[in-house]
Amino acid sequence: EGTDFTRYRGASALTPNLAEFLAVAGPCPHLSDFVQAGDAWCRALELERLVVTRGEQGISLFDGATGHEHLPAQAREVFDVTGAGDTVIAVLAAGCARGMPWSAAAELANIAASSVVGRLGTVAINASQLRRAVSEAIGDAHGVMDETALLDAVARARAQGERVVMTNGCFDMLHPGHIRYLRQARALGNRLVVAVNDDDSVRRLKGAQRPVNPLQDRMALLAALDCVDWVVAFSEDTPERLIGVVKPDVLVKGGDYTVDQIAGADGVRAAGGEVRVLPFVGGYSTTGLLERVRRGES
């Protein structure tokens, strides 16, 4: 804060925004002027790095010795820049504390800031949201996808040493019980695949009046959850074939099943994976919700 940068002499990093930097360095009508000023101030203040946040122009990183780096903003749309600077500081500090190189930590901070400016108001970014933003920034597919795209995404995740968790269901009327269950499942690994019965499959299992919500709506709602990485449909009565090709590290099912009753469990265990049964949260069920709606209860 303020225009006396000398108080920060010897700091690991100084992170002014562009307006704050220009108030001290003076006008920089050209990029070359800005680069020259950034290098000079980084050296004069004996900083490890000078990191200037430049709004829609991204972040500029100076080391005062070997050069500078400009990281373009990742945001597709900017709604509110409030809190972006704090996000940069927090993620940059966390990255460096974990031993990341300055350039990598700055890239991560840039992606995080680009994520928060795409939402209204002062918002924090959690680890799941940051992971999703990084995936989008590097072109890693996320959300609703077909089987081929899913297998590619799973292969990339495994190549990075990530643990893939898989579960399945109809998810006809998403309720808090579902969300708590999915969060518990996601906590068992790094990525969560949710396989969803298509409409014909639901009708065969639940009756002619189901599903209430069509497949694309059910999948879109699941994909919007931070705890869900990938959503894929299957047309069979059970996901056993799909589980066999995905080969999750952890297969999860909710309810009163035994492991031997879970479709695909034998194949997962034979491949060295783990099968877990998580208890459903009491007080919630799609059938119960539908009965209450039919009776006109709130």
**pLDDT at position 118 over 80:** no
Q: Which residues are catalytic?
A: 86
Mean pLDDT for the stretch of residues 133-146: 75
Instruction: Please tell me the distance from the alpha carbon of residue 266 to that of residue 176, in angstroms, as a whole number.
Output: 30
In a shared domain, residues 126 and 241: no
24-68 pLDDT, tens digit per residue, is: 999 999 999 999 999 999 999 999 999 999 887 889 999 988 778
Predicted local distance difference test score (pLDDT) of residue 294:
63
The CATH number of residue 21's host domain is 3.40.1190.20
Q: Please tell me the pTM assigned to this model.
A: 0.58
- pLDDT tens, position by position, 254-268: 887 788 889 999 999
- Calculate mean pLDDT across residues 146-162: 90
Of 137, 169, 202, which residue sits at a domain end?
Answer: 137
For residue 287, is pLDDT > 70? no
> What pLDDT does residue 80 have?
47
Q: By residue range, what is the domain housing residue 203?
A: 143-294
Distance, CA of 11 to chain centre: 31
Cα dihedral 61, 63, 64, 65 sign: negative
Q: What's the confidence (pLDDT) of residue 250?
A: 98
> Percent of the chain having pLDDT more than 70?
86
Of the candidates 108, 137, 166, which is a domain's last residue? 137
The two tokens of residue 35 are 């680069």
Average pLDDT, whole number, for the chain? 87
The rounded distance, in Å, linking the Cα atoms of 199 and 6 is 65
Same domain, 93 and 128: yes
Please report the pLDDT score of residue 215 as a whole number: 96
Same domain, 289 and 154: yes
Q: Which has more confidence, 219 or 56?
A: 219
Regarding whether 179 and 56 lie in a shared domain, the answer is: no
How high is the pLDDT of residue 86? 86
Answer yes or no: do 133 and 168 share one domain.
Answer: no
Handedness of CA 2, 50, 99, 94 (dihedral sign): positive
Question: Tokens in use for 219?
Answer: 């999948």
**Cβ neighbours around 262 below 10 Å, total:** 21
Q: Which of 85, 106, 137 is the endpoint of a domain?
A: 137
* Residue 248 CB neighbour total at 10 angstroms: 25
Same domain, 150 and 230: yes
Q: Based on the structure, what is the number of domains in the chain? A: 2
Same domain, yes or no, for 106 and 216? no
* Statement to judge: residues 208 and 180 lie in one domain: yes
Distance CA 72, CA 193 (A): 31
Residue 278's CATH number: 3.40.50.620
> Tell me, what's the pLDDT at 126?
78
Query: 105 with 147, same domain?
Result: no
Beta strands at 68-71 and 59-62: parallel, antiparallel or unpaired: antiparallel
For residue 26, the model assigns a pLDDT of 95
* Domain match, 72 and 193 both: no
Please tell me whether residues 163 and 80 are part of one structural domain: no
Q: Are residues 133 and 273 in the same domain?
A: no
The confidence score (pLDDT) of residue 184 equals 95
Q: How high is the pLDDT of residue 55?
A: 80
